[in-house]
Chain A
Amino acid sequence: MADVLVGVVVFPGSNCDHDTEYAVASFEGVKPVMLWHNEHDLKGAQAIILPGGFSYGDYLRAGSIARFSPIMQEVIEFARKGFPVLGICNGFQVLLESGLLEGALSRNRDKKFLCTQTSIKPVNCSTIFTSRYKEDDVLTIPIAHGEGNYFAPDEVIESLEEHDQIAFKYTDSLGEVTEAANPNGSLKNIAGIINRQGNVLGLMPHPERASEKLLGSVDGRALFESLFMHIAGV
């Protein structure tokens, strides 16, 4: 069987691109392919990952300039056709700016840049990104961001809930969704959301940084595994 090809977009200022490449390459039968922001060619990728970092220096607003880069025009088209797109951290910010996901991320409630382990739980395990999780799982996955405070107007939040589009929430270590467990002030403790069609996921936590024992957690692996198994048709 041919390898599953996964595109990892590299913007100027991306800094989790190689971590993501490394995590992707650790799965058998999966090959990462790096995609430079100035290109229009997705090089046959079957899924696209927008990695973390500070694309274009986060000038103006996080993700706002990356959203208009040449490669993003292809990624938006790719997503609109129903192919899988995953945005991690800055990648999530880019997805929101591009309109593929709804809402916005503003500065963390407590002003601090947060670089720490968090507990999150999958809320909807029937997506192509979360099928390998169980709803009572409590995952240990790190965050590293200054602007991860998810905001959306009331009607958008209601619609996200109604259509099962909240993918992950911040919880305490027992899996309870509490205000104290909310690291950045996100509405409803939202850590990640998926689009209505179910092919575009954005999340602030970094699954690629929780993909090997040495890193302190392997809880992010099942996210990649869910996606790659979906593509391979397993």
Chain B
Amino acid sequence: METDAIWLTFRLAGVTTLALLVLGAPLAWWLARTRSAIKPVIEAVTALPLVLPPTVLGFYLLILFNPEAPIGRLWVQLSGDTLTFSFEGLVAASILYSLPFMVQPLQSAFTAVGRAPLEAAASLRAHPLDAFLTVAAPLAGRGFLTATVLTFAHTVGEFGVVLMVGGNIPGETRVVSIAIYEQVETLRYADAHALAAALLTFCAIALLAVYAANRKFPTHVG
């Protein structure tokens, strides 16, 4: 069994999900509440990874992360390592690739919460961060659950971007989907079967958990 690949996949998905919770929640919050004219632009950019072929995203990221390019060079200067063909590069790529899976459920959850409970909190002297943590976030709990599980599962399932940006370095960038691809290429069907079934089972259970929780989670309307 490809334990290295499995461990790496879950590490990548975990780090990506945590990073997206920190980055995506404020973005979703802003999108849900802003009346700014640039909101549609940001929404479109956020949704791009949904429709873009992963190879296209991966190709551009490969060019951006190249040590000769400004971002790639900056990273090399800061960390001494390259972004391409490294775990850090995979995390950065996955954050972009999975962004809509975090932002969209959260944005609709925050929109559903609306301004009313936050006005009530403000009238009780809760400052905005206090009101977010004690009122908006609990009321958007279902959105957080959905966004977290979808982001994690989607990152586990990513392939094209990883292949373009990370390659196939065992313990560094060789995730489960890459391992399956390689096993099929080298005609090791039995290994591919085992790994593919494991991934299928995991994703099915994750989605089942989301939908089951969505049924039981209180909706807090009214």
Do the two chains bind? no
> Which residues of B line the A interface, CB within 8 A?
none
Seen from chain A, the residues whose Cβ lies within 8 Å of a Cβ on chain B are none
